[in-house]
Chain A
Amino acid sequence: MSLVEFLQQLINGLSLGSVYALIALGYTMVYGIIGLINFAHCDVYMVGAYIGYFVATDLHLPFVPTLLVAMLGTAIAGVLIERIAYKPLRRSTNISLLITAIGVSLLLENGFNWLFGGNPRTYPHDILQQSNVELGPVHSDTLHLIILGTSLLLMILLQVVIYRTKIGKAMRATSTDKDAAELMGINVDTTISATFAIGSALAGAAGVLVAILYSSIDPYMGIQPGIKAFTAAVFGGIGLIPGAFVGGIILGVIETFVTAWYSQLSGAIGFIVLIIILIIKPSGLLGKKVSEKV
């Protein structure tokens, strides 16, 4: 592989990885705050792609408004899922919550299948003009760069929200200790809703971006990227926001390079990486055993 090829693949890998990271953030944020692996998260990503599809085809909105409407729609969907399905079970065992999440996931997939049919739908081609971009000798295209740029921008925004705003502080406090957060005057219910809203909006954005890239959507499109993003979250250290970011990017890059070398492995490589990391460092790349004094 020449250097130029390497750089081209690297751009593709980063762009794929940034999409994984966007989805992984939702998994990790929800896990951090209520300890649930939200299996329905990958379907929220699918819902985002569908909202984007209808906005772009029926309302003929351009890329940025389409993305924003899809993010708003998935944010609302995320909050509704939490309020209706998860909140009543907050005091019950983790396993009932997990099974409920699987149920919500199946409901969304099959509900969308029933509503809109199982045939793939094609995204409008004109939503983003694709053209080749030459960075010196390296060829890439606008699409990959826009995906990478949008994802990075959203992740920077997330960092600002989490570390610089009141709701971000409330989210971090709630994920550490719910009772103590309430004693500070933090409304834990609202904070959990906000976490679902933000995580779901990021997944919705990822849904639109990937749908534009592959130009095709269907009700089961979330399953594969969902599992990979989940892998990325565990890989980086579940519950840790920087972990989701790092895990997503690394997984995307590894997957792209391995696929370029031996395409049969593309589906399996994520799991191979996961198994290796779980053997070597079960808490994930950035995870550490936190020793706390009592």
Chain B
Amino acid sequence: MLKITNLNVYYGGIHALTDVNIEVNEGEIVTLIGANGAGKTSTLRAISGLVPIAGGTIEFEGKELNKVPAHKIPYLGISHVPEGRRIFANMSVAENLQLGAYCRKDKSNFEQDYNQVFEKFPRLKERMRQRAGTLSGGEQQMLAMGRALMARPKILLMDEPSMGLAPIIVEEIFSIIQDINKSGTTILLVEQNANMALSIANRAYVIETGRITLEGKASDLLKDESVKKAYLGG
């Protein structure tokens, strides 16, 4: 479904990604784990067209994305939940969700989509009219995910959904990610919390200083000695 071949990206004069190859098949949860600054976010930003691609290709459903401008990407069925949530803090929760559906041409099923989002995130419903900036960190993460789902994506790119959240909220978020995947959305998940990510993913890639150093089934990587040592705290 999503195929990244020999991707090279420069970011602020730094060679952020070197010959990165990643493939995501339909229906999978694939996770990309690595330390801070390893190139996880750059990978997602390259897919979404937010950083220029210096070399290699990104293909989605057989279509090359290299030259597609960022604002056309969501129309193809790719939604990106960015690092740090990036919700529209001055706007209401409802308006944030409406913006999520900005790229949708069929407005008829709006109600249904709202309801689906509220089913997954009941707390957002209570806060519909509230300014998004007043939500708690966990709620903001939920809003960012709900906003992305309003676009009815085929694939959801998620950047560090666990960042800055209490463990109990992280559990909740990850179980929702599994739900979203079960209802048919493919997921590419970027995480520092390797343990959580590997426990829900089908396959995983490990990225170090801009290069993929390891890949395989998530369950295998959980047992891998080098992964354990570097990312799972022993």
- Give A contacts to B, CB under 8 Å: 166, 169-170, 172-173, 176-177, 179-188, 290-294
Residues of chain A within 8 A of B91, CB atoms compared: 172-173, 176
Partner of A183 from the list B80, B90, B137, B140 (CB cut-off 8 Å) is: B80
Report if A294-B71 is in contact (Cβ < 8 Å); known contacts: A173-B91, A184-B99: no
Q: Which of B55-63, B81-89, B177-185, B210-218 contacts A (4 or more CB under 8 A)?
A: B81-89
* B102 pairs with A170, CB closer than 8 A: yes
B46 to chain A, nearest CB (A): 13
Partner of A180 from the list B69, B75, B88, B135 (CB cut-off 8 Å) is: B88
Residues of chain A within 8 A of B49, CB atoms compared: 182
Q: Closest residue of chain A to B150, judged by CB?
A: A184
* B102 pairs with A185, CB closer than 8 A: yes
* B84 pairs with A294, CB closer than 8 A: yes
Report if A177-B48 is in contact (Cβ < 8 Å); known contacts: A183-B82, A185-B74: no
* A179 pairs with B75, CB closer than 8 A: no
* B71 pairs with A166, CB closer than 8 A: no
Partner of B133 from the list A166, A179, A185, A290 (CB cut-off 8 Å) is: A290
Residues of chain A within 8 A of B70, CB atoms compared: 179, 182-183
Within 8 A of A (CB), among B111-142: 133, 135-137, 140
* B89 pairs with A176, CB closer than 8 A: yes
Residues of chain B within 8 A of A169, CB atoms compared: 95, 98-99, 102
B72 interface residue per 8 A CB criterion: yes
Partner of B88 from the list A166, A172, A290, A293 (CB cut-off 8 Å) is: A172
Residues of chain A within 8 A of B102, CB atoms compared: 166, 169-170, 184-186
Residues of chain B within 8 A of A186, CB atoms compared: 71, 99, 102
Number of A-B contacts (CB under 8 A): 77
B166 to chain A, nearest CB (A): 13
Query: Once bound together, how far apart are the Cα atoms of A179 and B50, in whole Å?
Result: 7
Number of residues from B at the complex interface, CB < 8 A: 34
Besides A177-B86, A180-B88, 20 more A-B contacts (Cβ < 8 Å) are A173-B99, A176-B88, A181-B71, A182-B49, A182-B71, A183-B48, A183-B79, A183-B86, A184-B99, A184-B147, A185-B72, A185-B75, A185-B102, A186-B99, A187-B71, A291-B133, A292-B89, A292-B133, A294-B84, A294-B164
Q: Closest residue of chain B to A187, judged by CB?
A: B71
Residues of chain B within 8 A of A187, CB atoms compared: 69, 71
Residues of chain B within 8 A of A182, CB atoms compared: 48-50, 70-71
* A290 pairs with B90, CB closer than 8 A: yes
B100 interface residue per 8 A CB criterion: yes
B173 to chain A, nearest CB (A): 16
B53 interface residue per 8 A CB criterion: no
Which of B71, B103, B140 lies at the interface centre, i.e. has the most chain A CB atoms within 10 A of its CB?
A: B71
A132 to chain B, nearest CB (A): 45
Q: Can you give 6 A-B contacts (C-beta < 8 A)?
A: A179-B86, A183-B73, A183-B74, A183-B82, A184-B151, A185-B72
Q: Closest residue of chain A to B136, judged by CB?
A: A293
Query: Once bound together, how far apart are the Cα atoms of A188 and B69, in whole Å?
Result: 11
A167 to chain B, nearest CB (A): 11
Q: Closest residue of chain B to A174, judged by CB?
A: B88
Residues of chain A within 8 A of B73, CB atoms compared: 183, 185
* A188 pairs with B71, CB closer than 8 A: yes
